[in-house]
Amino acid sequence: MFLSRIVRHDLDSIDSPSSMASSKKVVTREEWERKLRDVKIRKEDMNRLVMNFLVTEGFVDAADKFRIESGTQPEIDLATITERMEVKRAVQSGNVQEAIEKINDLNPTILDTNPQLYFHLQQQKLIELIRAGKINEALEFAQEELAPRGEENQTFLEEIEKTVALLVFEDVKNCPYGELLDVSQRLKTASEVNAAILTSQSHEKDPKLPSLLKMLLWTQNQLDEKAAYPRINDFTTAALEDPSI
């Protein structure tokens, strides 16, 4: 990111012995904006960054419109985004069996080569049975489908025990593992499924843009210790704020 390049350059200059001996360096808005203008970023690179975010996060309509308007071609078939989002929504709504069937329709090797993902889907299915109050069905499912996997993997066994513990408490709020029934657990499983599908399509499982923003925040924090400069505090507007002296 161009701001990171500027910050790294300024960190190098500020770390010199002469600058360290003095107080914080003050970079004026005029000087900072001049540095920004001097850094050349290709529009094509920015467009690819935007397309990467839209594709990874599953905004298929926005990605298609952006493709038409910018001429930027996505790295994968946009039709697969719709299919991926259908799987993700199925998990988020608690329809785990539907999600498993859709994954197999999309690419049967995903679950065959990812036992941890398949286990987490089966665990989520058990959670949904418990949520629905289908106790007998939940116990049968845990015994037939999950217990054999627990015998082969200690981590799986611990997860099974935590999930089955939900059956012991009449009020799950008092259960130490009650968070398994939270919506956040569905979202966690859905995110894992989304990442696995993207990986199977030779696409990054995480969008690049958030990582670049984290890098920007880190570099600003580093520079804060050495200089006063126009800083971005609101990432939604990316507006520069004058340095406080």
152 found inside a domain = yes
Tokens of 112: 């065959």
69 found inside a domain = no
Tokens of 204: 């990054």
At 177-214, the pLDDT tens digits run: 999 999 999 999 999 999 999 999 988 888 888 888 89
Judge if 170 and 81 occupy the same domain: yes
Task: Identify the pLDDT of residue 236.
Answer: 85
Domain count, the chain: 2
Rounded to whole angstroms, the Cα distance separating 31 from 14 reads 15
Judge if 122 and 90 occupy the same domain: yes
Q: Which residue range forms the structural domain that includes residue 183?
A: 76-200
Judge if 81 and 194 occupy the same domain: yes
243: confidence class by pLDDT, cuts 50, 70, 90: confident
95 found inside a domain = yes
Judge if 193 and 214 occupy the same domain: no
Phi-psi category of residue 93: left, alpha or beta, with phi > 0 → left and psi -120 to 50 → alpha:
alpha
Mean pLDDT score of the chain, rounded to an integer? 88
18 found inside a domain = no
Of 238 and 91, the one with more pLDDT: 91
Judge if 191 and 215 occupy the same domain: no
Rounded to whole angstroms, the Cα distance separating 121 from 193 reads 9
In 3D space, the residue among 70, 73, 110 whose CA is nearest the CA of residue 194 turns out to be 110
4 found inside a domain = no
